Amino acid sequence: MIRFESVTKRFANGTTAVDDLSVEFLEGGITVLVGSSGCGKTTTLRMINRLVDPTSGTVSLGGRNVRELPAAQLRRGIGYVIQQAGLFPHRTILDNIATVPTLLGWGRRKARARAAELLEVVGLTAESGKRYPHQLSGGQQQRVGVARALAADPPVLLMDEPFGAVDPVVRTLLQDELIRLQAELHKTIVFVTHDIDEAVRLGDRIAVFRTGGHMVQFAPPAELLARPADDFVAGFLGAERGLKLLSLISLQDVPYEPIAAVRTTDTAARARAEATGRWLLAVSPDGKPAGWVDVHALDGSDSVGQTALTPVRGLTDSDSLLSALNETVSSPTGMAVRVDAAGVLVGASRDDVVHAHQRSLA
C-alpha cells in the first residue's frame, strides 16, 4: 500500500539522501528501515507523510500519489512517532494523546475518552494521564508518543527511532509492547532504526540501506540472515548472524518423541522402580515439567518432590531452535523437553534430532 517508484531525494546542498528507491512496503505488517547513520532512512520515512518531497519519482499510498493529496488529509491517516516522543511539555498526558482527535473536531469529551482508552492500550495507568511529560520516565513518554500516534486510529504508523533514547531493558519491553499491539491492530508500520537486533525482532520485512541512500536488500528477517545480498549486508548483520537466525526458527518442524515421566508427588521408591537410566523427568501434578531427577539423589528422600531437581524449561512449538539447542546443552540427558501451549508435557526432542534439523537449514 506504500509504494516508492524510482524515488530520489537530493537536498539543496547537493547531498543525495535517497537514490533511486523502488520498493513496496507490506500492508498490515511492520517494515523496518535499517542502516548506519546518514544512509537516508529518515528521509525515506518523511517522504511518506510529505515532511520531505522527493526530487524525482513517486511515493504513493493506497494507490494515490501522496503529492496529490492535501497534506492535512494525508497526515490524518498517518500516525508519526519520533525519538524522545516529542510531547507538548505544558499539556497533560491525556491532552497530549487527545491532540489529533481534538484537531479533528471530535469534541473535548470524546477526545479525552479516547485518550483514556489508549493510555490503557499502551500499558499506562489512568493516573498518569493527569501528569505532565517531565513527570514520566523516558520509556513511559515513548508509550505516550505511541498512544498519541494511534489516537485517530490511522491505518499507517511511521516510527522514527522511537525507542532509541531508552535503556536496553526498557527498549526490549517497548518492543514487546509494540509486537503485542500490532498483533491486535494490524497497522501498516514503517519503523526506522540503526539497531539490527531491533530490526530482526520487529520486522516482517527489513530494508537495509547503505550510505548514499541505496537500499541494498529488502527481505524477511530469516531470509536476510540466511542469505545476505553482499558483504556489506553480512557485515552489518554482524558476527552473530547464525545465532540470530537460530533464534528466528521455530520448533514447529522439529520432531519429538514420547518421554516417560514421574510425578513430584510419587514416592522415591516408585520413581526408582520406573528408572531405566540415571535421570528421570519429573512433572508436577498438573503435568508441567518440574525438573530432572538424579536417581542417586532419591536415596535420601521420601518423594520425588523432596529431591533437588535440575531445572528444565519446557519448550512450545513457537520457541526457537536456539532455545532447543540451549536446552540440549544444559539438560543432563541432552533432551529438549516439549510442552503444549498450556505448558503440559508432550514429549522430548533428542539432541541429535535438534542438531540434524539445524544442519538441514544450512
Ligand X SMILES: Nc1ncnc2c1ncn2[C@@H]1O[C@H](COP(=O)(O)OP(=O)(O)OP(=O)(O)O)[C@@H](O)[C@H]1O
Nearer CB in complex with ligand X: 199/345: 199
Nearer CB in complex with ligand X: 33/309: 33
Distances, alpha carbon 164 to alpha carbons 91, 167, 171, 226, 254, in Å: 23, 8, 8, 27, 36
**Residue 6 — left, alpha, or beta (φ > 0 → left; ψ -120 to 50 → alpha)?**
left
Taking CB under 6 A as the rule, does residue 141 contact ligand X?
no
* Residues near ligand X (CB under 6 A), total: 13
Binding pattern for the stretch 27-56 against ligand X, x by CB under 6 A and - elsewhere: --------x-xxxxxxx-------------
Distances, alpha carbon 77 to alpha carbons 33, 71, 98, 150, in Å: 20, 10, 15, 10
Separation of alpha carbons 49 and 63, rounded Å: 15
Please, what is the minimum distance in Å from the beta carbon of residue 305 to ligand X? 54
Please, what is the minimum distance in Å from the beta carbon of residue 44 to ligand X? 7
Please, what is the minimum distance in Å from the beta carbon of residue 15 to ligand X? 4
DSSP letter at 257 equals B
Taking CB under 6 A as the rule, does residue 194 contact ligand X?
yes
Taking CB under 6 A as the rule, does residue 276 contact ligand X?
no
Please, what is the minimum distance in Å from the beta carbon of residue 133 to ligand X? 22
Please, what is the minimum distance in Å from the beta carbon of residue 80 to ligand X? 14
Please, what is the minimum distance in Å from the beta carbon of residue 257 to ligand X? 49
Nearer CB in complex with ligand X: 216/226: 216
Site for ligand X in 339-358 (CB under 6 A): none
Among 6, 11, 253, 343, binds ligand X (CB under 6 A): 11
Residue 32 C-beta-side C-alpha neighbours within 13 Å: 23
Binding pattern for the stretch 101-140 against ligand X, x by CB under 6 A and - elsewhere: ----------------------------------------
Please, what is the minimum distance in Å from the beta carbon of residue 191 to ligand X? 12
DSSP string, 16-76: EEEEEEEEEEPTTSEEEEE-STTSSHHHHHHHHTTSS--SEEEEEETTEEGGGS-HHHHHH
Among 13, 276, 318, 360, binds ligand X (CB under 6 A): 13
Separation of alpha carbons 5 and 12, rounded Å: 21
Nearer CB in complex with ligand X: 40/291: 40
DSSP string, 67-134: GGS-HHHHHHTEEEEETTTT--TTS-HHHHHTHHHHHTT--HHHHHHHHHHHHHHTT--GGGGGS-GG
Please, what is the minimum distance in Å from the beta carbon of residue 343 to ligand X? 41
Nearer CB in complex with ligand X: 37/73: 37
Cell of 22: 523502488
Distances, alpha carbon 116 to alpha carbons 31, 98, 139, 154, 159, in Å: 29, 9, 18, 17, 22
Nearer CB in complex with ligand X: 41/114: 41
Among 2, 4, 7, 17, binds ligand X (CB under 6 A): 17
Nearer CB in complex with ligand X: 42/175: 42
Separation of alpha carbons 77 and 59, rounded Å: 15
Query: Binding residues for ligand X, per CB under 6 A?
Result: 11, 13, 15, 17, 35, 37-43, 194
